[in-house]
Amino acid sequence: MQSTELVEMKIPEETHILDDDEVRRLNEDVMSLMSEEFRAAFLECEINLEDTIRLRSLGAMFREARESRNETLKETSTKLKIPQYRIKDIEYAGSARIKPESLRDLSSYFGLDTWCTRWACKNPELAYRLGMDEWLKIRKARGGVGKKDLPDYHMQEVERQVGRFVESRRPPEHIRPELDIGYRITGQSFEIFEIRPRWDHPEVTHELPAAKATYVKSRKLWKLYWMRADLKWHRYDLPPRSESLRAVLKEIFEDPYCCFWG
């Protein structure tokens, strides 16, 4: 990466809490500088670049708070009885490994609850996945975003990711009158389907279901379904430890058992 490219990207201060537009622009800039092989590696490792970008300010704030006390990782770890690697996960945006209890203990210790509330309310969907409900409840008491609003924010993120996925799967425009792909979101579920003209009435289109997924709020995971010849949805067994939305869409895309795309 050349220095001129870094200037063009206009990377903000580390502790600046980014809004959605800033996250989107920075994500696009970073992705544009990656080779195809590197992008493929990101997908294979299930690395969510947007999550990493959003977490940058959170991690930097915790790191600066620790360093302002002239404490080493080991010293903070010993005082709070939190493993050093857990603190590193927070300071360096390891979203998949961040533990809510570690966040709470560190936030209380460094006096960052007010700042964490601001960050959580700027990033409600990610905060929800990280188990930061406590900070969102604090904002609710002050008349802002509350936990009851989280499903709406959560489904906004679902619509963004599913919409992007479907757009990547759609055929070229000249083919779409004969074959297209669409989706709909209902409640906590989304469906992906093919759109084709009826053979006996080409002017009429019909939908051929491809995949369905439902979010189980009580367990914070996705269940994936495929439609068999009996025209009923059947549970699709995801690989172990892969029940995130990103993993669900990846499984639908790769379709290793030809369940979704035939």
Per-residue pLDDT at 95: 61
Beta carbons of 249 and 242 less than 8 angstroms apart: no
Contact by Cβ (8 Å): 225, 214: yes
Q: What is the pLDDT at residue 260? A: 94
pLDDT at 200 over 80: no
* Between residues 157 and 183, the one the model is more confident about: 183
pLDDT of residue 145: 42
Q: Which residue has the higher pLDDT, 170 or 49?
A: 170
Check whether 192 has a pLDDT greater than 90.
yes
19-23, 29-33, 37-41: the lowest-pLDDT one? 37-41
Bridge-based pairing state of the strands 221-227 and 205-216: antiparallel
97-147 pLDDT per residue, tens? 788 888 889 988 888 888 888 888 888 878 877 877 767 665 444 444 433
Give me the residues paired with residue 196 across strands. Answer: 206
Question: How high is the pLDDT of residue 148?
Answer: 39
Domain extents for the chain?
Answer: 3-145, 153-254
Would you mind telling me the total number of residues written for the chain in this entry? 262
For residue 41, pLDDT beyond 70: no
Distance CA 75, CA 77 (A): 5
Q: For residue 54, which of 85, 89, 87, 27 has the smallest C-alpha distance?
A: 27
Tokens representing 11?
A: 């990377």
Tell me the pLDDT of the chain averaged across its residues. 80
pLDDT of residue 149: 39
How many other β-carbons are positioned within 10 Å of the β-carbon of residue 221?
16
